[in-house]
Amino acid sequence: MTNVILLTRKTENNRDLSVTLKSFETECNKCTPISPMNCISRCKVYKLKNELRRLQETMGNPNYLKELFNVLKNETRLQILQTMIDGRYSLSLLQQKLRKAGYRHSQGNISKEYLNPLMLIGLIAETRDEYYATTFGIHIAKLIKCLPEFANKLPSQSECHEETLLKSLLSGSKTFEEIEELISPKITSRILKRLRAVRLIKTTKDRDYVFFIKSKRDPQKEVFTATDRKLYDAINFEGISAGKLAKKTRLSIRITYKYLRHLKGKKLVFSRRTPKTYVLTCKGKKLATELQQLKQIVDDTWNSSQQVMHDNALKISVGGLSTNGFLH
């Protein structure tokens, strides 16, 4: 029993619950508790597996991740979850703890608006009129460090299109058209406006989206004026906007466009429109990374709950539970 408790403490910070469960299986097979009740009342392994069984049903909801994000976009709920890392709280004790942190709510409001949503998604549980964070809830609470900063900047009751876009931008910038395909053309403009307003995304710095690029035509076959040559030589391989070209050659923008038309007429230069792209700001990247890690914990927990259910079914199908089977 002692070995199992020590192992649980050692691995409770491990995000990979499947690895933790395998370690538990080894220790459970060696465990010789005095009685089933003694084991159930003290063993964290038993509690973790029971928790995973309950989460398996809760996470089976196809909208679970969306509901989880919406529940967490609330400062009071996040404060309650962080508080419960330390232990169990009655409703009155939790109310006192929240007041010290600057949150003044009635016990009825705390129960209905804050505790119940956290319980429904499996982050906290209740027994004998005391509330505590589940192992899954503790994992989440230890992960979310910057989320309270943005809790009120994202809509609390939404389809989580903002979160979807933030996570997708971790892989790189996206054009407006690509974002339309990701979420919906009807709401893309509104989502982008909202995220830009809270400075989680931004457009690329270069606002000149028409670039001028040299063609493959041999310049030796053409006659250049001095200004033609100056502009042509200033155009780099990747292409350059008219504004930057004017600055580079110290010509006015009007003269720059005039001689660019000359070069285009000689088919030495062609223009290409580069669409505006959206990227994450530093804050946006921080939040998007946290959201991605949160999703990874959910996926890992779901896989672990599936493993527990599979192992249970397997043990029963081959002839019942072992002597210490109440742990499995």
Give 111-166 pLDDT, tens digit per residue: 999 999 999 999 999 988 899 998 889 889 888 877 778 877 888 888 999 999 99
**pLDDT exceeds cutoff 70 at 260:** yes
**Do 132 and 47 belong to one domain?**
yes
**Do 242 and 111 belong to one domain?**
no
204 inside domain: no
**pLDDT exceeds cutoff 50 at 96:** yes
| Torsion sign, CA atoms 148, 153, 156, 158 | negative
The pLDDT value recorded for residue 204 is: 75
**Do 11 and 127 belong to one domain?**
yes
281 inside domain: no
The pLDDT value recorded for residue 29 is: 60
171 inside domain: no
Q: Could you tell me the pTM of the whole model?
A: 0.68
In this prediction, residue 17 has a pLDDT band, given cuts at 50, 70 and 90, of low
**Do 7 and 136 belong to one domain?**
yes
**Do 87 and 141 belong to one domain?**
yes
193 inside domain: no
**Do 129 and 52 belong to one domain?**
yes
The pLDDT value recorded for residue 18 is: 58
**Do 53 and 109 belong to one domain?**
yes
The pLDDT value recorded for residue 6 is: 39
29 inside domain: yes
**Do 129 and 239 belong to one domain?**
no
**Do 266 and 301 belong to one domain?**
no
173 inside domain: no
Range of the structural domain that residue 319 is part of: 2-153+292-327
Q: Which two tokens stand for residue 147?
A: 């989320």
120 inside domain: yes
The pLDDT value recorded for residue 14 is: 45
**Do 16 and 92 belong to one domain?**
yes
Give the residue with greater pLDDT, 310 vs 98: 98
Nearest-10 Cα torsion for 24, 29, 34, 37: 50
**Do 101 and 236 belong to one domain?**
no
44 inside domain: yes
**Do 101 and 248 belong to one domain?**
no
The number of distinct structural domains making up the chain is 2
Pairing of strands 240-241, 210-214: antiparallel
